[in-house]
Amino acid sequence: MSKQLLAGKKGIVFGALNEQSIAWKVAEACVAEGAQIVLTNAPVAARVGQTEDLAKKLNAPLIYADVTKMEDLENLINGSMEALGGKLDFVLHSVGMSLNVRKKIPYTELNYDYMHTTLDISAMSFHRLMQVLWNKDAMNEWGSILALSYIAAQRTFPDYSEMAEAKALLESFARSFGYHFGKHKKVRVNTISQSPTKTTAGSGVGGFDSFFNYADIMSPLGNAPADACAEYCISLFSDYTRMVTMQNLFHDGGFSFTGIASDLMDNFKSE
């Protein structure tokens, strides 16, 4: 169903770890839509992930970068512009990690060293990336920068723990840096707030399977799958959304605006 919406565009896709990764689907869709891309992931992904397989499949350069390191991001942006032969039209930040969640530490007992790392990897990295893009004047006019978020930034989902704060910060960076990028460089910055999705990061959250099923029932269209998220990303990289910026856009089958689902109400009928 390719419409070549990204023909002639160049971009970077972060975070394709394995076939389940949302970024994996986005990378495939970008290339199918005519874009040239560079893939990037944390150096450790070389050992634990399959990013290299995707790079081979898509014939895309792969430049490893730890998003907590300024010099890695500088090297990535320089290397990408060199490999792609010019400035960038789009960037996807699809990166998240919480050590407190991974180690199953209760929210009321969080370790602050771990929290620093969580906020650094999952949120500050977005600012750091945008600062490097800004300083190197690496984005073409009417380009698009996008990050993936989750509704726990607005509403409490207890098992999501400190990632809720990370996503709130991420969305705020999209608004604040989005102002500067829009005003001075005609570049848009948005976040997509995606449904629960069965990936390595998603499945790390406690009670994920039950919550996935709950969200599926609560969403009139059902949970949005990773493929559909990729298509939404394509629309936001395309020229059809050039005036959309500083937004957090829900891609969740209607979950965010549903109060109660009739299927669930049946469980609470009085005798």
Please report whether residue 194 would count as binding ligand NAD according to CB under 6 A. Answer: yes
Q: Using the rule CB under 6 A, give the single segment among 27-35, 81-89, 95-103, 173-181 that binds ligand NAD.
A: 95-103
Please report whether residue 124 would count as binding ligand NAD according to CB under 6 A. Answer: no
Choice between 169 and 242, CB closer to ligand NAD: 169
Please report whether residue 68 would count as binding ligand NAD according to CB under 6 A. Answer: yes
Terminal CA-to-CA distance of the chain, rounded, Å? 51
Residues 13-32 that bind ligand NAD (CB under 6 A): 15, 17, 21-23
For ligand NAD, the binding residue among 66, 89, 162, 165 (CB under 6 A) is: 66
Tell me how far apart the alpha carbons of residues 237 and 45 are, in angstroms, rounded to a whole number.
Answer: 25
Apex 258 CA angle, 146 and 166, nearest 5? 35
Residues 138-157 that bind ligand NAD (CB under 6 A): 148-150
Tell me how far apart the alpha carbons of residues 175 and 190 are, in angstroms, rounded to a whole number.
Answer: 7
Question: Token digits for 35?
Answer: 């874009």
The dihedral over CA atoms of 106, 111, 117, 120, expressed in degrees to the nearest 10, equals 80
* Residue with smallest beta-carbon separation from ligand NAD: 202
Please report whether residue 95 would count as binding ligand NAD according to CB under 6 A. Answer: yes
- Does residue 128 contact residue 83 with C-beta atoms inside 8 Å? no
CB atoms within 10 A of CB 34: 14
For ligand NAD, the binding residue among 31, 42, 153, 236 (CB under 6 A) is: 42
Please report whether residue 200 would count as binding ligand NAD according to CB under 6 A. Answer: yes
CB of 67 to ligand NAD, least distance (A): 4
The alpha carbons of the chain give a radius of gyration, in whole angstroms, of: 18
Closest CA to 30 of 243, 245, 241, 237: 237
Q: How many residues bind ligand NAD (CB under 6 A)?
A: 26
Binding site for ligand NAD (CB under 6 A): 15, 17, 21-23, 41-42, 45, 66-68, 94-97, 121, 148-150, 194, 196-197, 199-202
